[in-house]
Every structure is written in structure tokens, then in C-alpha cells.
Chains A and B, each alone.
Chain A
Amino acid sequence: MQEALLTIKNLVKTFPIKGGILSKEIASVKAVSDVSLEIARGETLGLVGESGCGKSTLGKLILRLIEPTQGQIFFNGQDITHIKPEELRKLRRNMQIIFQDPYASLNPRMIVEDILMEPLQIHGLGKNKTEKRNRVFKLLDLVGLRRESISRYPHEFSGGQRQRICIARALAVEPDFIVCDEPVSALDVSIQAQIINLMQDLQKELSLTYLFIAHDLKVVEHISNRVAVMYLGKIVELTTSEKVYADPKHPYTKALLSAIPIPDPTYKKERVILRGDVPSPINPPSGCYFHPRCPIAKDNCSKDSPILRELTTPSNSHIASCHYA
């Protein structure tokens, strides 16, 4: 494997639940529990899971947009878990985020020029106004928007175009690493394909590293080198995107894959339909978190919590947490 750009070790995030008259902490939610990952330079790591599984929280933890409860984050070899706000701001030049909703993540009162200029000003990029403006033009070219767009407001654009503006804003500071939090799920299929292609082109051109968070396995499989599957705050399977599709080991991954509707009416498949909903993370089930919904659960699954273990050699190519994988 290549040199790791980002390493996280045993990351935990718990959110307190307050209640009563004195707003005491009455319970806590473990949104992310004991997650360790490595992302190599230039790769795309896909992160999938159902709503509430902690995938977005993990993305925000990595960027230190929220503070981890336990664990460590290394970026470029440097431990960034506890660095000061000032250093953190400098670091943000190297790590950016693209959000799901292009409607909510752009300030409706700012024109595109100001939106794209702001990061340049904050990080002191470009000597004068003309140079900054040239950089903005380059960004617009890069993401396939017309240069006239510079004086328009976000509401004048369609969803796909707005997502291009968000991408341009993230790229303005020339980052190495971008967390993409469901960047295409709000878009129509034909527009989605345009944005995915754009992101892949940009990755090649600018040698970017992505953490691509999505609930759509088809999209994740398409764009990622490796895929991590999360369930209730834990990673349950992590392997290359070829293997996750061709040879999934964890029953949850199998169920997720079989739930995807296939656009071919002649294709008949055995569908694993999971019973019930995702359990509440406030009070997760004993043993393996997945056992109440698992089609192959046995007695010990409700008692012993499985650990993430290596299933094949060479190392780090396929890990899953299931007693029967």
C-alpha cells in the first residue's frame, strides 16, 4: 500500500443526551465507536451505511469540525487530534469538505465571485485582486462553469451547477484531501453522472485524495478504490471495491448489496430482506450490533462482540467483523 495521507486510530465520538430540569446528562449516543482507518495518498475511500450509522460524523471528526471523544487523527504524519485553532486553520488549506445539499451550503446573498474569493482571502492566496480573480476564473474553468457565472447568485443555478460551485470552493485552496459527504445524492441521475465524472477527472488532474461518503452503494463502488461499510458507529467490513461487490463477507454488506434495485427487468435475484429497522445507538444490542437483524445469527452473536479481523492475506486487503464471515 502507498504512504498513508490520513490515519485514524480508535476514534470515538459520543454525544451526550441531556434531560431533566437541570439538563443533566442522562444518556449518551456513541455515534462513532472505535474506528480505525488509513487513507493512502491519491486513493478514494468509500464509506457507506444507512442513515444514522455515523458516517457523516466520522467525516466531520476527521476535519476536526467536531471534537473526538477519544482516539487520534494523523494527517501527513502529524498528530492533529489536539492542535490549536490557529494551526488548525492552516491545516484546513489541505483538507476540505463538500456537503450533500448544494442548496443549503452556499450563502444565498453572496455572488459566485465572493464565494470563491473568500477561501483565497482567508488563506492569503494570490497577491492582488487581479491575481485572485484569475484564480477564480481558473476554478470555474476547472469545474466546467462559464466565466460569466462569476457575478451571479446561487439561486440562479441548477442543483448540479451549484454542486460544481461547492467543488470549486473546496478546490480554491488547492487541498490534498477532500471529504465528500453525499455529494451527489440530491441530484438527478443524469446530473449525478456528470458530477461523478468531474470528480474523477479532478482527482487525476490534481492528485486529490477523497473520503467519499454516500448511502448509494452503486455510486460508491463506481468511484472508490476501497470501501468501508459502517453499521451503528462501527466499521463492519473494509476491502477493495472489487471485493466488496464480488465477495462480500459480512451479512450486513450482503444485505445492503442485495437491496439495491437492479435496472434490468429480466434479472431475478435472491433478495435478503432485513427485518426491522436500524436499532437505536443510544441502546445498542448486546454482542454483535447486527444480530437482531442478521439472517445467519447464532446464539453466541448476542453475547460476544465480534472484532474486525483479517480474512485473507496479504494483510489489510479484506477485514470484516463477523463470527461467521
Chain B
Amino acid sequence: MENEKILDVKNLKTSFFTEEGEVKAVDDVSFSVYSGKTLGIVGESGCGKSVASLSIMRLIPTPPGKIKSSEIIYKGKNLLTLSSREMRSIRGNEISMIFQEPMTSLNPVFTIGNQIEETIRLHQHLSRNSTKDKAIEMLKLVGIPAPEKRIKDYPHQLSGGMRQRVMMAMALSCNPQILIADEPTTALDVTIQAQILDLLKNLQKKVGMALILITHDLGIIAETADTVVVMYAGKVVEHAQVKEIFANPKHPYTRGLLNSIPTLNKDPTGKIKKKRLETIPGIVPSLLNLPQGCRFQDRCPYTIDACKQKEPELSEIASQPEGLHLIRCVRDI
């Protein structure tokens, strides 16, 4: 079951039609997800990483949004051509999602038990009692102490980390094949973040699901992902195995991101190096007003004339020991 290609996203294009024009939030993005493995998607705010994941779940509000052309193949079926009813039986059941804000993604007027049971009731035809047992079992799985009592709690009675665990219990209650986690720990403190990431990894090992982890934190990517997709302004700019991307980043944007994190590094003598942070100058271009050619040209230290003429293709770097490594850049740096 390990390493089976379970989801194949091909040339995903999602746009939002606004008064000012078409915003191509996701523009020609392709990636594959393997069971038991973690795909990390990194990028800054507005790069399209969340829209890509919402497109897989078909949760893009239409209008103004629209998935223009794509194939999202899950177990031989194209998710984009399924009826709403068929999609509903997959969503939350076989593919489920956890969101960034555990405070706003839970309904404040229902107990957490109620909310977990709803998911189970919708997708699995169990008796009332076994539904409740299942909900308690899920809460135990995600490490909530005294789940029999906690099941009667309302979301406001729980801490942020506990709420995120409840979200995970809900998402995992139907044993999904794919879990999409959209910035699952961004709203949490670092010690709680460590707990949640550890839990996600253990659960993945236990149930063998595929994980799509969306984050802006390269530290989290390094510790959890197997494959990494770096997105910039709606496009994939680099795609490689995690070790390769950190050891041998090829795209100037990936390099810029890696250099702009303050690191806690000691040099061999044990003294701490404090150097000035390298930055990426400027800001992400507006998706309504993209430059001609490469989208990163205005912020890139390596821009040449060729960058301004044609948008570079996502192409493979020849003979890499760590497997497939794609970049979207004309320069070889």
C-alpha cells in the first residue's frame, strides 16, 4: 500500500473572476501524492497554496471562483467531473482536510462530540452507540485526556492545541486515504506545534494515509515532508525531494526563502554566527498585474534579458541522484 500513487493533480488552473479582471490564483500546477508519504507545499501568502488544496476538495466558491481546466485523478476517477453527491461521499470520508484556524473551524454551539459524530454518521452507517464509541476512540487517538468527559465540551472550553486535536479527530474519523493539512500549526505555540506535528507523523505511520501539508515554515517542511513543491504567484517554481531541495536549492526564490530564515546555527568552535539576514527585495507581484516573462524577475538577483521575454517552463534538471528535480528558471545557477 505504501508508495502507491493515490492522487494525481494535472495542470490545475483555478481563477477568480473579479471586477478588476481574472485572478489566476493557481496557474498550471501539477503534483502527485503517494500513500504513506507527505507532500509539502510551501510559499508566501497569496501564492495559491490554499486555493490548490481547496480545488482538490472542490470547495472553491463558484462564482467568483472557477477551476478552469485540470484533471484531478483519485483512484482512477476524475474528481472534477463527479456529481456533487458523489463528491460529498468522498469529501470528509476518503479525502479530508484540517484548517489553520481551529477557533473558527469548529461550530461554537455544538459539543465537540456532536461535531465528530456528525462526520461519522454522514459517511459510516453505524448505530447511535457505536457512533459515540467511535468518536471517543478518535479523541483518544489524537491524545485528548479523559475523552468520555471531553466529548460533552464545547469548543470554547478547550485550548487552541486541544481544538486542533479535535479537528484532527474529525478529519481522521472516517480513515481518510488523503489528509490535507492547511497550515495546521500556524495558530499554535511552538511547544504545542511540536506535539501536533509529532502526532500527525505517528498517525500517518499508523493508518498509512497520504498527507498534503501546506505551510510557510520551511522548518516544518524539513521535518515532515518527503517531497516539496515551492509555489510563487500561482506557479510551481521548484519541485523535488526534501533532501534535495534543502541541499541543492536551484530556484533563486527557494534560495531566497532559505536564506531569509534566522537560524540557530553554531559554527564548529561552538560560537554562534550572527550574520545579517539575506532578504528577497520587493514584494510578491499582484496577480492582476503580472510582469511579462518570469514572475519572479523583479525580485531576482539573477535576472537577465531572457527572463523578461518568456515565462520559463517547469523543466527537469538532468541526472540528479535524489530523483526528479524540476525548476522553473532559465538560468543555471
Contacts and interface: CB of A to CB of B under 8 A. Distances in A.
Interface in A245-282: 245-246, 255-267, 271, 273-274, 277-278
A218 B272 CA distance: 12
Contact of B195 (A158, A261, A263, A274): A274
B1 interface: no
B187 to A, nearest CB: 9
A28 interface: no
Nearest to A252: B191
A263 B279 contact: no
A67 interface: no
Contact of A158 (B264, B277, B283): B283
Interface stretch (B83-91, B252-260, B305-313): B252-260
Contacts of A188: 44-45, 216
Contacts of A51: 160, 189
Nearest to B275: A222
Interface string B207-223: 00000000011111111
- Of A218, A246, A261, A274, chain B has the most CB atoms within 10 Å of the CB of A261
B204 interface: no
A242 B273 CA distance: 9
Contacts, number: 128
A190 B219 CA distance: 14
B10 to A, nearest CB: 27
Contacts of B272: 221, 241-242, 245-246
A219 B217 CA distance: 13
Nearest to A195: B279
Contact of B218 (A189, A242, A259): A189
B242 interface: yes
B194 A218 contact: no
Nearest to B215: A261
Given A215-B189, A245-B272, A263 B264 contact: no
A264 B222 contact: yes
A263 B221 CA distance: 7
Given A221-B264, A277-B161, A261 B189 contact: no
Interface of B: 44-45, 159-162, 189-195, 197-198, 216-223, 242-243, 246-247, 256-258, 260-264, 266, 270-272, 274, 276-281, 283
Given A221-B264, A263-B221, A277-B192, 4 more contacts: A196-B262, A218-B264, A222-B262, A263-B263
15 contacts: A50-B192, A161-B283, A188-B216, A193-B277, A194-B281, A215-B190, A217-B264, A245-B266, A256-B190, A259-B191, A261-B219, A262-B263, A262-B264, A273-B198, A277-B192
